[in-house]
Structure 1
Amino acid sequence: MKPHGTKNIVVLGAGESGVGAAILAKKQGWNVFVSDFGKIKNSFKQELDENGLEWEEGKHTEARILAAAIVVKSPGIPDKAPIVKQLHEKNIPVISEIEFAGYYNTAKTICITGSNGKTTTTMLTYHILKKAGIHVGLAGNVGQSFAKQVAEETFDWYVLELSSFQLDGMFDFKADIAVLTNITPDHLDRYEYQLQNYVDSKFRILQNMTANDWFIYNADDKIIEAELAKRTIAAQLAPFSLTKELAQGGYVNNEQQITITTNKEQFTMSIHELALKGKHNTQNSLASGIASRLLEIRKETVRESLTDFVNVEHRLEFVAKVHGIEFINDSKATNVNSTWFALESMDKPTVWIVGGVDKGNDYSELTELVRDRVKAIICLGVDNSKIIEAFTGVVDTIVEARSAMEAVAYGYRLAKKDETVLLSPACASFDLFENYEERGNLFKEAVRAL
């Protein structure tokens, strides 16, 4: 349903994605109105004004919004919001910025989703394509707005990181290559607490795909495997695994060697050459490597890119070594599953900084790893009772801190030479910080001040 301009379009939410959608809509001849129930950042107001776009903040003028032919909604606005419910009742299409940009996009797309690892896999895939000299854009949950780039750029490929919320608003969009890193229970509050609803949401990445397209997925993920058994997938399959040999796709063998097979061609490299450490990062590297080889990027370029990649900020980011103690910032780990991956990749005794706003966390899945690798716990949150209860008896030393500075000071005292202090909170940050970036930045400042 590629609607044409001259009709009314309303953009709900004036953040990166909303402003980008508004710019593209205007270019395509729509009558555009931008409405944000909260405050609009000054930089975005300026951009809207420069583009001659009409906007409002702090309210939703219902008459204007309900007169739209189509509405582009920010992924942060839940379907339960009253204005969205009214739009659904009136059968006015409510779509995501990605869907809207897709109507006008002529480039091919590699679309990446999953509960964890999607940002790293997206950045890594983008890094390889860029290094190969492909004219490529980066968008979705990272980089600049996809819609804005479609309005202003002429890329041949895009690498898009897609959240389940973005996928929920996508209907006619089609990926050329889809990647599903894993599925673990996350954001269930937005899915009636039904795991199947969340799984269905992630699998929307496959909609409209044909036999010419490719689906890269984690063959070690039980939820994905169970779901694949129930579905007929049109796309060609390129799974990856850390445990089983695969004729097509990628795997790791007992000699710690990666093998990727695409179009009957083999690519191999040692797991020890990978820039990113830990099993989950091997999975991310396999997914990115398969996507790159499907584009027939030279083996040397893929090998080089997987060796020299520098990870995204706040994701297992090495900060500094102070008197032999390594400090690692994994502030982006806002759920238990992300933290599981972080702890799993620690190869030295670790002092673990954890805590914040808990999304209904079950810490029991971390018990074995914590017993095995963690020598002390520093709680960094307002209410730490659940963490203290979960790990009393598992770890001898548990202390509480109320600031990044205090947490780092404890870490420095509790860790010894050749040990690690890891900030991997497993929780959201809003009790003490603005967001996970601020938490990570204050942690890094405190480490550098030691």
Structure 2
Amino acid sequence: MRGWLKNWENMRQNYVAVLGAGISGKGACSLLKQLGWESYTYNEQGRAFTKEEARACSFVICSPGFALDHPWRKIALNVGKKIISEIELASAFSDSDVTIITGTNGKTSLTTFLTHLWNCNQKKAISAGNVGVSFCDLVAKGMDKGKRVFLEMSSFQSADTNDLMADSLLWTNFDQDHIDYHGNLEKYFYSKAKMLNFVKNDKCFLGQSVSRHAKILGLNLSDHNIVSRDEKNWGLPDYHFMRSYPQQENLSLGYQFSKEMGFNDQAFNRAVQSYIPEGHRLHFVKTVGESRFWNDSKSTNFSSALAACKNFKGNLFWIGGGRDKGGNIVEFVKNLKPLIKKAFLFGETGGQLYQLLKDSGSTGILCKSLEQAVVYAHENVVKKTNILFSPGFASFDLFDDYIHRGNSFIKYVLNLKMLSTTSRQLEGS
């Protein structure tokens, strides 16, 4: 036990206020229960957090979904209460070695890949954090001694984390994202850079785009390991997901880190060959007639959408749109234009994208829904064409999350396939 929570047993006289009833909130409550520490959960669909409750609690654990200027956060701060993340709570009660993985794009794939590398080489590891598993929940359930935690950490989670012990960090890349949350690109960068302070040695591996942005801000990160993209293909075909950008660059970080941790090339190669990527990340769905459909619903920012487009040659139709997260949408459309033949647009940003493409002389078709975008894209194909769903925006305007959005896209494509098959059968009868 260390830090401000080392006297936690005396602090248990007051309950802990947990803001949010999602994965992180439930995980925090699970660990607090294990510790015999009373907690109350507050969310906008249930119990409200008031000034009186703020005064009565020991401290506040805030879920990453709460905006930094949320009224409940202001209430807690105004009465002098400390706000922490569930990650900080878990770290205080964990003896496991922790590797932090962060970045704008590809961090979940790198997190799960490294966990796979460890486990298939008889070393114990588990993924936690932004990957969808609460660190607190893992600690509450108990972990085997010596099990490494690969902790995917977002800038949202970093905001309320000030005490975390890690022995290594991989920062994959950096680009525009979450400007609506942080206010500007500089604040977003510093929310990531803050994590470097959690590592107590020199095992920090950074992508080149991280180093470039640091220099723009006048920061020198040369004391850390700056990793260039390695062109090794690891025996994978050109079209494989792990050969695409940014995955291949992120794999280079994983490779350098694994060498530092004692893995040889053969072990790394076996893990690459046997790794099964997470869903909704640039994977092929179906061919319908001359249309080849690709699902990249995990793309929720400009850089990931542009990166996905750059993996294709020839005719490319792009399906995109969703909820704006801030950032320069004009610049995004300017960079998108030379990569695509036609765009099929939907969601809250569909109209703006349509107008920007129209003003630039490009073809954009405004659709009422994602389903309509899939149908219209297919109807516009006259020769072999890749149709890429890499939306570049958040999913919350029309869907629960990117998984719901991706599954919906797959369903609409399969419906097309079924209709196409039925049509051919009728023509032949």
TM range (shorter): 0.7 to 0.9
Match of 1:68 among 44, 47, 57: 57
Displacement, 1:375? 1.5
In structure 2, relative to structure 1, the CA distance for the partners of 1:204 and 1:396 (3 Å cut) is closer
1:332 is aligned to 298
1:152 is aligned to 141
Q: Does the residue aligned with 2:161 lie in a helix, a strand or coil?
A: coil
Match of 1:82 among 71, 79, 97: 71
2:36 is aligned to 29
Paired residues for 1:291-440 under 5 Å = 291-367=257-333, 370-382=336-348, 384-392=350-358, 396-416=362-382, 418-440=384-406
The answer on whether the counterparts of 1:125 and 1:291 sit within 8 Å (CA) in structure 2 is no
Q: Does the residue aligned with 1:66 lie in a helix, a strand or coil?
A: helix
Displacement, 1:398? 2.1
The answer on whether the counterparts of 2:179 and 2:326 sit within 8 Å (CA) in structure 1 is no
Runs of at least 5 residues in structure 2 that lack an aligned partner in the other structure: 417-429
The answer on whether the counterparts of 2:177 and 2:326 sit within 8 Å (CA) in structure 1 is no
Q: Does the residue aligned with 1:179 lie in a helix, a strand or coil?
A: strand
CA distance in 2, matches of 1:269, 1:221: 28
CA distance in 1, matches of 2:22, 2:195: 23
Considering fraction of residues, name the structure with more strand.
Answer: 1
Deviations 1:162-207 (A, max 9, x none): 111111111120221111112223222332x333222211111111
In structure 2, relative to structure 1, the CA distance for the partners of 1:241 and 1:364 (3 Å cut) is farther
Moved more, 420-429 or 369-378: 369-378
1:240 maps onto 2:227 in alignment: yes
CA distance in 1, matches of 2:239, 2:43: 49
The code of the aligned residue for 2:193 comes to: F
**TM-score (norm: length of structure 1):** 0.82
CA distance in 1, matches of 2:103, 2:287: 32
The answer on whether the counterparts of 1:71 and 1:94 sit within 8 Å (CA) in structure 2 is yes
In structure 2, relative to structure 1, the CA distance for the partners of 1:102 and 1:221 (3 Å cut) is closer
**TM-score (norm: length of structure 2):** 0.86
Q: Does the residue aligned with 1:392 lie in a helix, a strand or coil?
A: helix
Q: Does the residue aligned with 1:239 lie in a helix, a strand or coil?
A: strand
1:442 is aligned to 408
2:117 is aligned to 128
Match of 1:174 among 165, 169, 172: 165
In structure 2, relative to structure 1, the CA distance for the partners of 1:407 and 1:228 (3 Å cut) is closer
**Aligned-CA RMSD value:** 2.6
Match of 2:181 among 187, 190, 206: 190
Considering fraction of residues, name the structure with more helix.
Answer: 2
Match of 1:141 among 126, 130, 133: 130
In structure 2, relative to structure 1, the CA distance for the partners of 1:424 and 1:269 (3 Å cut) is closer
In structure 2, relative to structure 1, the CA distance for the partners of 1:60 and 1:370 (3 Å cut) is closer
Displacement, 1:324? 4.8
2:190 is aligned to 200
In structure 2, relative to structure 1, the CA distance for the partners of 1:152 and 1:382 (3 Å cut) is closer
Displacement, 1:345? 1.6
Q: Does the residue aligned with 1:183 lie in a helix, a strand or coil?
A: coil
In structure 2, relative to structure 1, the CA distance for the partners of 1:118 and 1:230 (3 Å cut) is same
Displacement, 1:399? 1.5
1:280 maps onto 2:225 in alignment: no
CA distance in 2, matches of 1:228, 1:292: 30
The answer on whether the counterparts of 1:217 and 1:238 sit within 8 Å (CA) in structure 2 is yes
Deviations 1:287-320 (A, max 9, x none): 2222222221242221122234332222212212
